[in-house]
Structure 1
């Protein structure tokens, strides 16, 4: 029986926190919104984009904080639909991005220090710790300023790095560290590093704002991957319907499929 899962109309409830993430399969992407306890909605699309995220966001009032891994078009959609909402970038995705550039065993002292700072970021819990971390990061930039600006010039006997274009006469020697610097500068500029220890939340210590999308990735997203892995071969429309029902089961008030059965379903 091919029973479509209806998504409930928005209740108007303002969520303090919404965690969002997208997962791909068979050329499709499903964007999921979660309030830290239950799935509150999802949106199908072919890829993450401003339009796709906006279609999901406009179903709900703006939350205080949205936790994200920084998906394509998400920032623009938040600015359009949830203008007063603060963005908290997922710490685990930040750490993974840093490690892609530094590796787990950086050779240079500057890389070793920024990796330690990134690990320290995982332990920030309050405004004082956030201020201390920012001071340490600013000191890192100042200490390694000359190294970060160091250039290598193209000449005979000098190996051309893979990221240097054929017509480049010079390139930054430590481009990977500069990319880490660019990542952190962007996060600081966007004010998306420390949304969770905002003064508005300090007195509410029993309801800590999440700093990662891991709760979503370890729940609905993991469930989707498990479902599709153990039911390989389903046509796309069956797979999507199966995902719909899985997500329905993770909402606060799941629909009972038996209540939705109509006579034409039984006759098909």
Structure 2
């Protein structure tokens, strides 16, 4: 049975951030995820999780200057000290919130910059992050992101992400499989899920969903999600599936796609 986590960055924007937890629980979600928690003290977020009976699935390490357009710093030369401080901060939040997954964004590769240099920095930073997270029983995940939504993003393909994880060889480094991004960049989702879920090394540490092409509810667009959910179950995936989509209107009004899974007790 799929276990769904509401993404509180994109969903429940009808509410202030700290009020989104209760709204998600009221709609039957058992877990949540979001991009960044750092505007709020970890104790405030933990209180919302406890009061709502929710688990924290994942969040992102600090991405650099998000408002200025940065989208991660893991591959950026010269930012290594800042990256390490960001992982320290993220791990302190994870210790408070209880999640066992942490997403590290690669960053943007501007035209004319050396891809080889960025890759070298990326591998060193990821190896360091995995080492830092290992003692806390945290898995670092990296995510290929489509270049339509995020032009110049360094990491765009599932096979490339798997190769990077295998090159580093850390037992707690895996790939985040976002069906929305993968469909836009590559397609052939079921084959890639089968291929990567069964890898003896690396593999898939977290899954996210959204309708394609407009990133709305997963019952719209070109992806047959009921088929993929059955496939994911059959492959033995036991993690959360993050609902990282923009509701067409009210979040609760758009949850008809979730009804069969709510009735079956998803997320228990």
TM-score, normalization by structure 1:
0.33
The structure with the largest alpha-carbon Rg is 1
